[in-house]
Amino acid sequence: MAVDAIGVLGEAGGDVPRNAGIAQEDFLRILLSQLRFQDPLKPVDNQQFVAQLAQFSALEINRQQSDKIDTLLAMQAADQAVGLIGRSVEMQSAQGASVVGTVGAISFRTGEPRLTINSNGSTFVDVRLSEVVLVR
């Protein structure tokens, strides 16, 4: 019987999994395989099947909640970024120096907001919200 990989890495060696878990269809396929290949002299107890189904349902609910929380956090980060437009912020430059500038624009790269900060004729592009240390 052939077995497919569950947590396959994304294309081009990326670290984002394409399929990070077992879908309901996969679980039912495993359950049917268990039934098909079980020992007829020692069948699996019905309570065990019900317990497995309940565990899978709980895991699916947790996965859905996790997805919703991730979406909520992304929306909150976007809202914070929009609130910074035109505001003076302080950030740490790549050299470790403190830079004060004004947020002029926001772009989104892979769903994460990135700021464009103008400071004394210099422009810092793709600044993450986590790099901002102070909002003035």
pLDDT in tens, 2-61: 444 444 444 444 444 445 566 677 777 877 887 788 777 777 677 877 787 788 788 889
Q: In what order do the strands lie in the sheet with 88-92?
A: 122-128, 112-119, 98-109, 88-92, 132-135
**Residue that has been written with the tokens 């790549």 in this structure:** 94
Structural domains in the chain plus CATH codes:
49-136 (2.30.30.30)
pLDDT at 69 over 90: yes
Angle between helices 24-36 and 46-83 (to 10 degrees): 170
Give yes or no for residue 63 having a pLDDT over 90.
no
- Tell me the C-alpha distance between 91 and 133, whole Å: 5
Q: pTM for this structure? A: 0.56
pLDDT score of 100? 92
The average pLDDT across 100-122 equals: 89
Per-residue confidence (pLDDT) for residue 49, from 0 to 100: 73
Quote the pLDDT of residue 55: 84
